[in-house]
């Protein structure tokens, strides 16, 4: 079971869903905070859902205030770096590029992609954490490698 957990985690890295930041978080996990990583991830998804909502609303309005959108995305990107959400971060960067170029179409497209990546990551991490919990606390703290 533990090995499975490790494999799942490894695949997340290999597929580029997560980057080193996630490992840093794992390093922070200790006896005082045995579920630290999961807590952080939960917090991230909660907060990022709110940010996504803001952006959705802004886009729906159709006015395309690029400055505001860029600002929202800046926030979102900062948040996404916290857990190492690599693919999500990439979409964020692209979105901001489109904002700077004033490309509304590009923004919309990228944002759809971003939401997809975000949802995918969420599912994968939920799955991962579930497995890790089942496998036992020690395992989760261990780094893959």
Interface residue list for other proteins (CB under 8 A): 21, 24-25, 27-28, 33, 36, 39-40, 43-44, 47, 71, 74-75, 77-79, 81-84
User: Least Å distance between CB 41 and other proteins?
Assistant: 9
User: Least Å distance between CB 8 and other proteins?
Assistant: 22
Of the pair 1, 28, the CB lying nearest other proteins is at 28
Q: How far apart are CA 114 and CA 52, in angstroms?
A: 9
User: Least Å distance between CB 79 and other proteins?
Assistant: 5
User: Least Å distance between CB 47 and other proteins?
Assistant: 6
- Dihedral of the alpha carbons of 84, 46, 43, 9, in degrees to the nearest 10: -40
User: Least Å distance between CB 43 and other proteins?
Assistant: 5
Burial of 61 (0-12, 13-18, 19+ CB in 10 A): exposed
Contacts 24+ apart (CB under 8 A), 130-134: 131/1, 131/4, 131/5, 131/8, 132/5, 132/38, 133/38, 134/1
Of the pair 2, 71, the CB lying nearest other proteins is at 71
Of the pair 71, 113, the CB lying nearest other proteins is at 71
Of the pair 32, 105, the CB lying nearest other proteins is at 32
Q: Please give the sequence-ordered ranges of beta strands (E in DSSP) within the chain, or none if there are none.
A: none
Of the pair 3, 74, the CB lying nearest other proteins is at 74
CA-closest candidate to residue 36, choices 47, 27, 48: 27
């Amino acid at each position: 079971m533990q090995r499975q957990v490790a494999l799942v985690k490894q695949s997340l890295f290999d597929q580029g869903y997560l980057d080193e930041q996630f490992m840093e978080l794992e390093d922070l996990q200790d006896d005082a905070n045995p579920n630290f990583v999961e807590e952080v991830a939960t917090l991230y998804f909660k907060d990022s859902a709110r940010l996504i909502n803001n952006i959705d609303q802004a886009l729906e309005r159709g006015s395309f205030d690029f400055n505001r959108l860029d600002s929202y995305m800046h926030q979102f990107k900062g948040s996404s770096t916290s857990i190492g959400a690599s693919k999500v971060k990439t979409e964020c960067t692209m979105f901001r590029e489109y904002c700077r170029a004033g490309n509304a179409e590009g923004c919309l497209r990228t944002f759809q992609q971003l939401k997809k990546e975000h949802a995918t990551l969420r599912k994968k991490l939920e799955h991962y954490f579930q497995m890790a919990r089942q496998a036992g606390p020690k395992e989760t703290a261990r780094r893959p490698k």
